[in-house]
Chain A
Amino acid sequence: MAVSSGGFPWVTLVVFLPLLGVAAILLAKEEMAQWIGLAASSVVLLVSLPLWVMFNESTAAMQFVEKHQWIASPSIHYAVGVDGISLPLVLLTTFLTPLCVLVSWTSIGTRVREFMISLLVLETATLGVFVALDFVLFYIFWETMLIPMYLIIGVWGGPNRVYAAIKFFLYTLAGSVLLLVAIIVLFFSSGENAFDILTLSQSAYSPTLQAWLFWAFFAAFAVKVPMFPFHTWLPDAHVEAPTAGSVILASVLLKMGTYGFLRFSLPMLPDASLSFTPIIMTLSVIAIIYGAYMAFAQSDLKKLIAYSSVSHMGFVTLGIFAMNAQGIEGAILQMVNHGITTGGLFLCVGIIYERTHSREIIDNSGLAKLMPCYATFFVIFALSSVGLPGMNSFVGEFFVLLGTFMWSKFAATLAALGVILAAAYILWMLQRVVYGVPSQSMASKLYDMNPREWGILVPLVFFVFWIGLYPKPILDVMHASVDNLIQQEVKIMTVEIPEPIVPATLVLSDSSSSVLDRETILP
């Protein structure tokens, strides 16, 4: 399995460099904390780029693997590596963290040192989750992530922050409790005496055991995604968290749940995944429509985006459990897209909150006149969230819907309804925020974006259009791994997959149509 990295521990370097930044922050003066945080997270971004450059797209095997024994009995390894599923998420994390440092530049005024430390520890933990190849190691990173996030929400958050922080912590902790038991049960029932994720994926488990384990995994991952009806912590956490916290939470942490489904539930428990697909699909469709419906009712911008996240993450789980190449590739792409788009929206809200200190739509309306540049960015991200063709989310949602269509026309139709609802609530929100009547009391506080804020949003806009117009580089990265995943599923698939319909009208561009042709799986 080991595709070696040429010996150089790239992955370890990427994961633990932020901790080096933490050490530097501890030694330096408080005023330097932001600069060191920015430097450390930027270096991590630079160091993570070679992973992409040197990534071999033709194989599904783990790459840049490092494996060292950590504990002898039971055999637990420090094993890390990336494949086509985890690499996009690793890059997303390293890309967003410097932006989070930048957006906190002036908005975090107290205890800056601790904030930067929390942010960097959080980066290490989330990167660790995506690259861990040992189940215990995965769990350790998965849980470690809770502490810095708890502090970020609870210390630097809004008025109701303590409640939100504790709710976030207990909800996710309670969810992951069963995961630990499931990991231990897997260890004993595989008979391999290993916690190695790839080894555990190759063992066969009895259908009854699979069913139990599936729901144990589900408890952990569904809370994190969050899937309906386990989403109630999300609006609270998002609303109360500082901007950087919201961005990391929405863009990266939610992906840990869907990543868990892809990495563990599908390959390890194929029978159970298949037999419970209707339930998950139903919950996903409910999440899409319910999230959109709730978003209508919100007068708080952050809450609106939070509920739109619930809706968008519904598309991701929908795509994953469609269990075909289109669905899963669309889901992974949608994970990245949601990270960029929702990250962008939260950053926009953060920027306006710094000026008006209000997240209410009514206080922040009519921005087009006073802040034209800002309004442009805001519209771009909002339209991307709607899934306007030519922008990133369209590609992802299109693939997901295509995959779902193959599974069930009815589910796809309902999910498509979610897209329409999204268009409605986003456009209504845009109408009020961008073109509404400016609030008199706020007008004096409004000024257009400064260079730092430009610097935060421009890279995101770049990716919005890049993925929207030419998603091939990102899709190429995931092909081999997704194929491999599908192969494992196909072996046990009993349902007949109808021939996929690729009408000419749906073809986006040359590149993506070639993708479809190549990746279409036939029964």
Chain B
Amino acid sequence: MSIPLVDLTTVLPELLVVLAACVLFVLDPIMPASKKDFLAWMCVGTLVVCFFVTAAGMGEKTFAFSNLVVVDSYASFWKLLLYVVSGMTILLSIGYLKEERIDLAEFYGFIMLSLTGMMIMVSGSDLLVIYLGIELMSISFYIMAGFKRFEAKSIESSAKYFILGAFSSGLLLYGISLIFGAAGSTRLVEIAAAVDARGLDDPLVLIAMMLIIVGFGFKVSAVPFHMWTPDVYQGAPTSVTAFLAVASKAASFAAFLRVLLEGFGGVKPNWSGFILGMCILTLILGNIVAIVQNNIKRMLAYSSIAHAGYALIGVVVAGWMGTEAGVASRGVSSIMLYLAIYSFMTMGAFAMIAILRRGGLEGEELDDFTGLAKRHKGAAFLMMVFMVSLAGIPPTAGFIGKFYLFMAAVNAGLTWLAVVGLIFAAVSAFYYLRVVMVMYMREPSSDQELETRLAFSPTATVVLAFAVAGVILLGIYPGPLVSVATSSAISLP
């Protein structure tokens, strides 16, 4: 079997990223320890090249490898986002890994490998290819979560993530095998045809669909499949947590939407109600439990669950009965917009946690932020911007993201869902503002002033600047991103 060259050029970005990972693994042992940063910069360079390659090809719809992979503007949008997020993670890690004394260059290799997995997920038009992507992403994450290998919490995080992740992959795979039984193929196009032919009440399709939804529910950490999230987020190294919260969630949502709309578009009434239930539970649990957290990483874990709930509003809209194609596509574009904005603010918040040190450890307790505004005005201000944006208060980008989601919901006739979402947005303001309150309105104790410091590295500063620029610029001038998301969303049915 020979692979046509044209197929390889279609997946050129994926190949470049894998190549960078392989080169890194080869060079790592032979490079002197002092030059390891070079490898990180090589990865960033690769991402920049990939960004331009993907951006240049945006707008076309190409299939490759006999329709196993599709590169359309929907996939390209997510890929562009993933490059940005991966780049920020690498830049953040350069200083962070040194601070934690785990600066092994393999780390960047695993980031590139999991990025490859995510790119395959967003480009896959076949369930098995998507599954392949999910596994490549997840396995890299299992390793990265346990990267602080001298710390019990990190190992625990890795093990928990592995066991639950493997379990959810099993469910997903079981769903895929059942749908293969129903459709005779794992390609989304053929699944759609078989689903249409079998009608709404076919039990085999329904069971398969449920299992697939559960599998993806784990990956996007939707309630009730969220149990792993707080422990894994808390234990993993902070830059990995950021990457997990942002990139893995974005890629999983991208693949989830494609599978639902392209594969199960014919049975929308069957899944939209189920997703609606998940969405409401996720909003409630994520926002309520976040209130009582005293560990910021854990709080942000619940906040990321809550944000998955908001994004699910868009999924519900995309699948809601009786909505016109234009409205459904608005649901999709609002998710894309939301997760893009979410990436910037979450990345920024985790970057702040990563550089705040208490003693030799990370400042991940809420108390460590006490009186930060007195000692580091700039840092406290940045954290406030991220928190305000996460709460969805204008003029930050978080508001724009929520605004478009709720627009889509009202447009689909789900006004009450928008009300529920907004009520929980008001609830979320409580725990986000608690961070602001601790930073601005409490006096630091004297030993705290001695112990806590900010471990700024030049690259982490770049990440923070990038994140805050994204949060503010997208809040004030969201036009370009909105139009890109809108035009990219059309390529899904």
Contacts and interface: CB of A to CB of B under 8 A. Distances in A.
Interface of A: 70-74, 111, 114, 136, 139-140, 143-144, 146-147, 150-151, 154-155, 161-162, 165-166, 169-170, 173-174, 177-178, 180-181, 184-185, 187-188
Contacts of B425: 177
Contact of B422 (A114, A180, A187, A188): A180
A162 B441 contact: yes
A390 B40 CA distance: 76
Given A144-B393, A146-B393, A181-B410, A166 B437 contact: yes
A44 B441 CA distance: 30
B486 interface: yes
A187 B403 CA distance: 13
10 closest A-B pairs by beta carbon, nearest first, are A140-B394, A177-B422, A184-B410, A154-B441, A174-B426, A143-B394, A177-B426, A173-B426, A71-B479, A162-B441
A165 B394 contact: no
Contacts of B406: 180-181, 184
Interface string B410-445: 110001001100110110011001001100111000
Contacts of A185: 410, 415
Given A150-B433, A178-B422, 18 more contacts: A73-B482, A114-B373, A140-B394, A146-B393, A150-B436, A151-B440, A161-B441, A162-B437, A165-B437, A166-B430, A170-B426, A174-B426, A180-B406, A181-B422, A184-B407, A184-B410, A185-B410, A185-B415
B317 to A, nearest CB: 13
A408 B328 CA distance: 51
Contacts of A73: 482-483, 486
B320 to A, nearest CB: 15
26 contacts: A70-B479, A73-B483, A73-B486, A140-B394, A140-B399, A143-B393, A143-B399, A144-B394, A146-B393, A147-B393, A154-B441, A155-B441, A161-B441, A162-B437, A165-B437, A166-B433, A170-B430, A173-B393, A177-B419, A177-B422, A180-B422, A181-B406, A185-B415, A187-B407, A188-B410, A188-B411
Contacts of B59: none
Contacts of B433: 150, 166, 169
B429 to A, nearest CB: 5
Contacts of A151: 436, 440
B441 A144 contact: no
A141 to B, nearest CB: 8
A387 to B, nearest CB: 38
B429 A170 contact: yes
A114 B378 CA distance: 11
B479 A72 contact: yes
A178 B395 CA distance: 18
A360 B394 CA distance: 38
A178 B442 CA distance: 32
B460 interface: no
Interface of B: 373, 377, 384, 388, 393-395, 399, 403, 406-407, 410-411, 415, 418-419, 422-423, 425-426, 429-430, 433, 436-437, 440-442, 477-479, 482-483, 486
Contacts of A150: 433, 436
Contact of B483 (A72, A147, A161, A165): A72
B467 to A, nearest CB: 18
Given A140-B394, A143-B393, A178 B441 contact: no
Contacts of B486: 73
Contacts of A72: 479, 482-483
B241 to A, nearest CB: 27
B395 A71 contact: no
Contacts of A177: 419, 422-423, 425-426
A140 B476 CA distance: 10
A166 B432 CA distance: 11
**Which of A71, A72, A146, A170 counts the most chain B CB atoms within 10 A?**
A71
A23 B65 CA distance: 56
Contacts of B415: 181, 185
Contacts of B426: 170, 173-174, 177
A72 B433 CA distance: 32
A30 to B, nearest CB: 11
**Which of B384, B406, B429 counts the most chain A CB atoms within 10 A?**
B429
A155 B440 contact: yes
**Which of A72, A161, A177, A185 counts the most chain B CB atoms within 10 A?**
A177
Contacts of A70: 477, 479
A74 B407 CA distance: 9
B314 to A, nearest CB: 15
A181 B418 contact: yes
B54 to A, nearest CB: 24
A74 B419 CA distance: 20
A140 B395 CA distance: 6
B132 to A, nearest CB: 36
A154 B436 CA distance: 10
A72 B406 CA distance: 17
B330 to A, nearest CB: 9
A410 to B, nearest CB: 37
A513 to B, nearest CB: 46
A162 B388 CA distance: 17
Contacts of A155: 373, 440-441
A185 B422 CA distance: 14
A177 B424 CA distance: 10
B133 to A, nearest CB: 32
Given A181-B415, A181-B418, A184-B418, A71 B482 contact: yes
B441 A139 contact: no
A188 B422 CA distance: 18
Nearest to A70: B479
Contacts of A170: 426, 429-430
Nearest to B416: A181
